[in-house]
Structure 1
């Protein structure tokens, strides 16, 4: 399938049973629900998908089971978050063989590479496969900021590096990238609570954590914006904002998965060292999502 890097791509959670083992049946049900709600693609095994908490075999099982149930209806993108370049290349080649439609490549984990090393890591991983590659820039979480100049360098020098998920939390980055080369990369917002701002500035889509919880509303924001119905897009976006702010919290994975559970779409279970939310944080998430569910706006 050709990947059209635009629209709503949930950064999908990875569903688990109460003991922390994979629940692939639940994962398939979740994926089907989001497709039925109109999402344009799926990003599996990103930050929200707990990529670095899964074994190598588990990651491949998640991708294989997702591809089975999606059956070509939307593109399936796999996160690549390995500790070395060799491991990233091996994983990329394996999911290409499984049938993934594209990759979202992160800098190598743990080691804080400089710009030259990050460019080499992403380029080597991309050149090992024939799939289109999206760069994932998330300096707040991973401690490495891939600058606009490096992003454009990667796109100009690597045929299949075609997109970036920009999660720097700074909408100005979108303009900076476009000003360097407006045609280098398909830009997608990677931070939920600046997504509409980033689309106004030039992003063609949104890789969204809270599309796991409110997929139809996320798609509606995008559709209304693209159709020029800015006020309606803004209305739904403002309604969602109390949830979207959780996407930049250090416990975003637990918050998104608990929100899924409250909304009846999944389980809050995460893999240790992540633990279930307690006390005030837990009450905050539950109260916020219950309030949003009770005040859902029309999306038409």
Structure 2
């Protein structure tokens, strides 16, 4: 199965009204802004999208609305976070007719499976759909590491085509390439090792802070891919305090507060998450305001 997934893919937030219902109009506005600012694709209903906080009906309605808004202008990949393989397969089957481009599949949540069980989960879902699938490997958050030997088994599934590598170990990117060549498209899934990952050959970046600063994210990606390392470092050094916000347990609240500060969305989240307060909130505000005061003029890089 051939895909062309590359570039900057924000893991978009799900916007909510004050009463907790989905704010579809705000999500459409956010998507239009991201597309205008040059992003290449999105992950809808990933961790930042609060997937597990939405009902089955809400998830399907959100994806349908997202696909209809995008109208094929960028790649749309849907996060799949379910408790069982059967529920994950049903969710994926429901999304197929909506025009989604692919699935980012997590291991079954709540129950931490053995390696054999994790493989069975991925195999079951992959064999239930024709959609291309991205493995989401995030042992830090989910306690499951889909290692090289497990990946070798999943390589036999033709529609498992990509990996979001979030182990935080940049050596894994080289190891994947050495063992599998170009069998998988590899995305960096950790914001604060983005430049390192791209220089090692990751062809995509799935990011939370890209929602807030998409132009800088796209510029960083383009400079890295062009081998313009010194210029990429300048953006990366400016970006790093912001990117750190994507690596802590309250990353969703951090990103949504930053979106609100730049009038790109609302900080509203669903329980059990709560908006940031006190020093946590002040830290995000200081970080964002410092970045804004030191924002780099991207025009000097002469990028398309």
TM-score range (shorter-chain normalised) is: over 0.9
Deviation by residue 1:45-71 (Cα, 9 ceiling, x = unmatched): 101110011000000111011111100
Query: Which residue pairs with 2:276 in the alignment?
Result: 277
CA contact (8 A) 2:223 2:232 kept: yes
State the secondary structure of the residue aligned to 2:272.
Answer: coil
Residue 295 of structure 1: CA displacement?
Answer: 1.3
Query: Which residue pairs with 1:67 in the alignment?
Result: 67
1: CA distance between counterparts of 2:85 and 2:142?
A: 16
Residue 148 of structure 1: CA displacement?
Answer: 2.2
Within 5 Å, which residues of 2 pair with 1:106-185?
106-155=106-155, 157-185=156-184
Residue 3 of structure 1: CA displacement?
Answer: 4.3
Query: Which residue pairs with 1:292 in the alignment?
Result: 291
Residue 152 of structure 1: CA displacement?
Answer: 3.0
Query: Which residue pairs with 1:39 in the alignment?
Result: 39
Query: Which residue pairs with 2:195 in the alignment?
Result: 196
1:85 aligns with 2:85: yes
Structure 1 alignment gaps of length 5 or more:
none
2: CA distance between counterparts of 1:189 and 1:67?
A: 24
Deviation by residue 1:87-138 (Cα, 9 ceiling, x = unmatched): 0000001111111010000001100011111111112112211111100011
1: CA distance between counterparts of 2:140 and 2:108?
A: 15
1: CA distance between counterparts of 2:14 and 2:144?
A: 24
Query: Which residue pairs with 1:227 in the alignment?
Result: 226
Residue 142 of structure 1: CA displacement?
Answer: 1.1
**Structure 1 residue ranges, 4+ long, deviating more than 6 angstroms after superposition:** none
Deviation by residue 1:197-225 (Cα, 9 ceiling, x = unmatched): 11111211100111110111101001111
Within 5 Å, which residues of 2 pair with 1:247-262?
247-262=246-261
Deviation by residue 1:170-199 (Cα, 9 ceiling, x = unmatched): 111111212222222111000000011111
State the secondary structure of the residue aligned to 2:187.
Answer: strand
Query: Which residue pairs with 2:54 in the alignment?
Result: 54
Deviation by residue 1:252-280 (Cα, 9 ceiling, x = unmatched): 01001111111111111110000010000
2: CA distance between counterparts of 1:259 and 1:228?
A: 30
2: CA distance between counterparts of 1:176 and 1:128?
A: 29
Aligned residues: 298
Residue 143 of structure 1: CA displacement?
Answer: 1.4
Deviation by residue 1:26-48 (Cα, 9 ceiling, x = unmatched): 01111111011100001101011
1: CA distance between counterparts of 2:207 and 2:294?
A: 21
2: CA distance between counterparts of 1:179 and 1:222?
A: 23
CA RMSD, Structure 1 to Structure 2 (Å): 1.0
2: CA distance between counterparts of 1:179 and 1:115?
A: 22
Residue 154 of structure 1: CA displacement?
Answer: 0.7
CA contact (8 A) 1:149 1:177 kept: no
CA contact (8 A) 1:188 1:205 kept: yes
2: CA distance between counterparts of 1:134 and 1:4?
A: 12
2: CA distance between counterparts of 1:113 and 1:5?
A: 29
CA contact (8 A) 1:152 1:177 kept: no
CA contact (8 A) 2:10 2:42 kept: yes
2: CA distance between counterparts of 1:188 and 1:132?
A: 15
2: CA distance between counterparts of 1:109 and 1:171?
A: 25
State the secondary structure of the residue aligned to 1:14.
Answer: coil
State the secondary structure of the residue aligned to 2:274.
Answer: coil
State the secondary structure of the residue aligned to 2:79.
Answer: strand
